[in-house]
Amino acid sequence: MTPGGGLRRRQVLTVAAAGLVAGCSDPPPSAARATAGDPLATAPPAHAVVASYRLPGGDVHAVADLLRQITGRADAAGAGAEVLIGLGATLFDRAGLPAQRPRQLTAMPSFPGDVLDPGRTHGDLLLQAGAGTAEAAERLLATVAGPLTPQWRVAGFRDGAGTSPAGHPTATNPFHFTEGHGNPDAALIPAVVRVGGTEPAWAAGGTYQVVRVIRLATQMWDRDPVEEQERVFGRRRDGTWLDGTAAAQDPPFARDPDGAVTPLDAHVRLARGTGPRPEMLRRGYSFRAEGEEGMLFLAYQRDLERGFAGVQRRLAGERLARYVLTVGGGYFFVPPAGWTGALFPR
């Protein structure tokens, strides 16, 4: 089930579509519309497909026309669906608009331990279609993409979806652990994910989307005792901290400086770090296809360094590393709700 129904769908499509249609004469968004009820603050749909496309070369008008068609089709999607449209750095070059590229939008770098397959990495455009069933998500993607053929795609699902004691949407990953506890509270999400005025004017209120296609060694993982698995993550399966502190409480690391209870290289301990809290919203999915199991890691943030990239660098050499392998993904930018700037001229 996708909470929020039609309203949620409209908001998401506004985020996704409005900014792309050039010269559009809609009224500017009010402050309330831009911040209240951020669609990313709601529980992710149970199923989602992400698909990455290379757009045909051509001038800015050809790119603009194609995007207009895509956003038009997105608007025809059924209630309860979620569509996000992510723009890759190469799109701005292809459209001859490098100065309009969001400041931090580059090709996703390769981080230590990554083995990026070029056939599953980057893209001019990323479509993310979410719905209550796998079939509905696929139908939605087919509708929005029209005749475009993806370079790569991943279909994901959220098992055991629920809500944490702190009110965060949660799901169970293929390693049987609950994800979502460490996400920001809903009220903080707009401040964490939405970029501000340091970006090209059209981009303010949008968000940087990080996609990581991560293979998981589930058979190897399942041979380890649960106690060791908990030490790898630094939380118990249900999110409780390893010394018994409740999931919604702050981590007890200060009482354990040498890592006797929570190893210093545990995932959550490294991810959290010792400075300011990571500023990112994780909304990941599990996937299983062609003998592979993994995580479709999806994260949204206003600043890649305070969010994904800073955390990812800290995770180098983590205890989890021997069980995971990142093989693809990319950096994308999802335009703001109600954006009406003329990025792509008619």
Q: Which is it for the CA torsion 56, 60, 62, 65, positive or negative?
A: positive
Say which DSSP state 187 is in: G
> Which residue in 295, 230, 293, 294 sits closest to 267, CA to CA?
230
CB of 238 to ligand HEM, least distance (A): 10
* Residue 100 or 326 with smaller CB distance to ligand HEM: 326
Distance, in Å, from the CA atom of 129 to the CA atom of 294, rounded to the nearest integer, reads 19
* 70 closest CA partner among 128, 10, 132: 128
Q: Does 229 bind ligand HEM (CB under 6 A)?
A: no
Which residue, judged by CB position, is nearest to ligand HEM in the bound state?
182
128 SS3 class: strand
CA separation for the pair 46, 136 (Å, rounded): 11
3-class state of residue 311 by DSSP: helix
Contact between 182 and ligand HEM by CB under 6 A: the answer reads yes
Does 181 help bind ligand HEM (rule: CB under 6 A)?
yes
Determine if 179 is a binding residue for ligand HEM (CB under 6 A).
yes
Position among 53, 177, 208, 241 found at the interface with ligand HEM (CB under 6 A): 177
The one segment of 19-27, 154-162, 198-206, 272-280 that binds ligand HEM by CB under 6 A: 272-280
d(CA 335, CA 207): 7
Give me the least distance between CB of 42 and ligand HEM, in Å please: 17
- Verify binding: residue 52, ligand HEM, rule CB under 6 A: no
Instruction: Name the β-bridge partners of 282.
Output: 299
Q: Which is nearer to ligand HEM, 8 or 212 (CB)?
A: 212
275: Cβ contacts below 8 Å, ≥ 6 apart: none
- What's the distance, CA 1 to chain centroid? 19
Instruction: Please count the residues of the chain.
Output: 346
> Under rule CB under 6 A, how many of the chain's residues touch ligand HEM?
27
Tokens of 33: 């519309």
Specify the residue, 94 or 282, whose C-beta has the smaller distance to ligand HEM.
Answer: 282
Provide the mask over 125-144, with x wherever binding to ligand HEM is found by CB under 6 A and - wherever it is not. Answer: --------------------
Does 287 interact with ligand HEM (rule: CB under 6 A)? no
- Does residue 211 touch ligand HEM according to CB under 6 A? no
Residues at the site binding ligand HEM, with contacts judged by CB under 6 A = 173, 175, 177, 179-182, 212, 214, 216, 233, 235, 239, 267-268, 271-272, 277-278, 282, 295, 297, 308, 311-312, 315, 324
